[in-house]
Structure 1
Amino acid sequence: MNLALFASGNGSNVQAIIDAVKAGEIAVNINCLVCDNPKAYVVKRAKDVGIDTLILSPKDCQSRQAWELEIIKYLEAHQVDLIILAGFMRIIGADILNHYPKKIINIHPSLLPAFPGRKGIQDAYNAGVKESGVTVHYVDAGIDTGEIIAQERLQIQPEWTLEKLENKIHQIEHSLYPKVIQQLAKEFNEKGINVK
């Protein structure tokens, strides 16, 4: 199975996936990275291991649709089977969603449907909830509303700072995401074998 990783920033989840592939924990090929931010550290992470990268912001294109069509062309050239959003800070629009139905997954730092959006960890912390966690889900047209694939729960201790909670959530992300990707790769390979 061929993956495309989408990221906008530091890329710690991208690194966790790269490391899991290197360690033989995930049987996939990381064919490319799509990044909308030329200054993102994730670009260096990809370059260091020879992952082909497309750096393209919507403002580089005539329209949002033109941006998506450019990405689709790039993904097709790299024969991508599954898109992994790993800290990608853009909404995926209709063109990419329709081209890759149920082939785009995202990781979110809360127990969805609670605390969707950009500040899932902070929102959970500020709400004073006793537990949070991490969700991996399929991407649909909504914000963090797609079908849930996996969740891992975390009990929040009363003395934790926001920073402590963030660190704990990131640790879960870095172990859960590779496991889910491996499960999807296994299912993909089994389907491929059955078709033949």
Structure 2
Amino acid sequence: MTVLSLVVLISGGGSNLRALLDAQSDAEFPARIVAVGADNDAAGLSHAEEFGVPTFTVPPTSFESRAAWGDELLEQIEVWNPDLVVCAGFMRILPPRVVSALSPFLINTHPALLPAFPGAHAVRDALAAGVSQTGVTVHIVDEGVDTGPVIVQEAVTIEPGDTESELHERIKTIERRLLTQAVLDIANSRVNLRELATA
């Protein structure tokens, strides 16, 4: 069994990170998180600590420019020589140099059916648009904002009267499962990121 080494990047509570940590508790799961990085003192880092996974934090406010922040973030990631970098609720747009160094082995979860509703407020935007469904996308990160090749998607119905938080919670449930499945499929060579990126 090929075991993928992962670095996971988070900004918040880390529910997607937790799903991957729980998945790797199964000895048969073909991926292992070697480190977790964040752009702030994110609450989700506690999940990594619980599982004994090393963490690092690279706050943008400590750097004179976005590029300098990106260079330090890339350096911290590359220390671990991961097979795959997973943005799991990481709320920063990565600078081009970081993307070019890591892509296509750099994936992201997004709470919408891309290309609909890219950006940081996808759930709110879907509700505002009055559409009947949104969803979850796991995609390769490229230099655009949520524009990279799609790995997997699943629709989520918007119920009448849904609030942003209610809809987001339902989306997160799907997101955790889809991300775990995407990592499994990449590890098992059912998804070839190089081919997807050049298709």
Tell me the residue number matched to 2:196.
none
The C-alpha deviation readout for 1:114-162, integer Å capped at 9, x for no partner, is 1111111111112111111100111011111111111001222224333
**1:42 aligned residue:** 44
Aligned equivalent of 2:76: 74
Tell me the distance in 1 between the aligned counterparts of 2:192 and 2:144: 30
How far did residue 69 of structure 1 move?
2.1
The answer to whether the 8 A contact 2:185-2:191 is kept is no
Q: How does 1:88-167 map to 2 (within 5 A)?
A: 88-167=90-169
Q: 1:116 to 1:190 in 2, by over 3 A?
A: closer
Q: Counterpart in 2 of 1:21?
A: 24
Cα contact 2:132–2:157 (8 A) shared by 1: yes
Secondary structure, aligned partner of 1:187: coil
Supply the distance in 1 between the matched residues of 2:22 and 2:46 (Cα, whole angstroms): 15
Amino acid at match of 1:20: A
The match for 1:194 is none
The aligned amino acid for 2:160 is P
Equivalent in the alignment of 2:8: 5
Q: Which has the higher helix share?
A: 1
Is contact 1:139-1:146 (8 Å) kept?
Answer: yes
TM-score of the superposed pair, with normalisation by structure 1: 0.90
1: CA distance between counterparts of 2:190 and 2:7? 15
Sequence identity of aligned pairs in percent? Answer: 37
Counterpart contact for 2:103–2:140, Cα < 8 Å: no
Paired with 2:48 and 2:189, the residues of 1 have a C-alpha distance of: 26
CA contact (8 A) 2:12 2:44 kept: yes
Structure 2 vs 1, CA of residues 116 and 72 (structure 1 numbering), >3 Å: closer, same or farther? Answer: same
C-alpha RMSD of matched pairs (Å): 2.0
Per the TM alignment, residue 19 of structure 1 is displaced from its structure 2 partner at its CA by 0.8
Match for 2:163: what amino acid? Answer: T
Secondary structure of 2:144's aligned partner: coil
**TM-score, normalised on structure 2?**
0.88
Shift of 1:190: 9.6
Count of aligned pairs between the two proteins: 190
Deviation, 1:189, is: 11
Looking at structure 1, the residues matched to 165 and 192 of structure 2 have their Cα atoms a distance apart, in angstroms, of 41
Change (3 A) 1:70 1:171: same
Confirm or deny: 8 A CA contact 1:26 1:178 kept in the other structure.
Answer: no
Structure 2 residue ranges without an equivalent (≥5): 194-199
- C-alpha distance in structure 1 between counterparts of 2:151 and 2:192, whole Å: 18
